């Protein structure tokens, strides 16, 4: 008899594209997904900070995860994944600019290989998905000098 998986063993993740790769985030840290709008550059900001945008009256810092994770490639940069303010341990509203958003799906613990990424800062594991791999990233990755994207640890895998 096959084992039955409960909802407690599953985590919902948002899959999105950066360059040639597919990545995912725990949906629990995400507030919303919006179309990329006009950004205002901030002088002397760290390389990974693309600028700020007005999101319904909130000044939102937009970060480029390609810079954070040293990802090559260009893409349409069409969407912004905005993190939940209540999940942030400090600071204001932060969003990541991504090339495209694919889907929300359930991931079980048996689908995640954590052993291949134990030394990689900002990587929670590799999700095996049919014929491809999806890199599970941590929004709390330290961008070095400048803006971090700090997240309440209870929401990350």
Sign of CA dihedral 101, 104, 105, 110: positive
> CA nearest 101: which of 35, 28, 152?
35
> CA nearest 140: which of 68, 42, 54?
68
Where are any strands of DSSP class E within 19-73?
Answer: 21-26, 30-35, 49-55, 58-63
pLDDT in tens, 62-101: 999 999 888 888 888 899 999 987 765 556 899 999 999 9
pTM: 0.79
Residue 136 backbone dihedrals phi, psi, to 5 degrees: -90, 110
CATH topology of domain 12-150: OB fold (Dihydrolipoamide Acetyltransferase, E2P) (2.40.50)
């Amino acid at each position: 008899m096959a084992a039955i998986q409960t909802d407690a063993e599953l985590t919902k993740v948002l899959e999105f594209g950066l360059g040639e790769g597919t990545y995912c985030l725990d949906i629990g840290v995400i507030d919303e997904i919006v179309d990329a709008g006009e950004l205002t550059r901030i002088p002397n900001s760290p390389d990974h900070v693309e600028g700020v945008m007005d999101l319904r009256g909130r000044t939102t810092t937009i970060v480029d995860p390609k810079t954070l994770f040293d990802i090559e490639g260009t893409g349409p940069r069409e969407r912004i994944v905005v993190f939940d303010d209540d999940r942030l341990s400090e600071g204001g509203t932060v969003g990541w600019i991504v090339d495209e958003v694919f889907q929300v799906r359930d991931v079980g613990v048996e689908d995640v290989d954590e052993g291949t990424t134990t030394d990689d800062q900002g990587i929670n594991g590799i999700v095996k998905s049919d014929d491809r791999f999806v890199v599970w990233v941590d929004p709390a990755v330290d961008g070095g000098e400048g803006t971090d994207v700090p997240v309440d640890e209870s929401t990350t895998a």
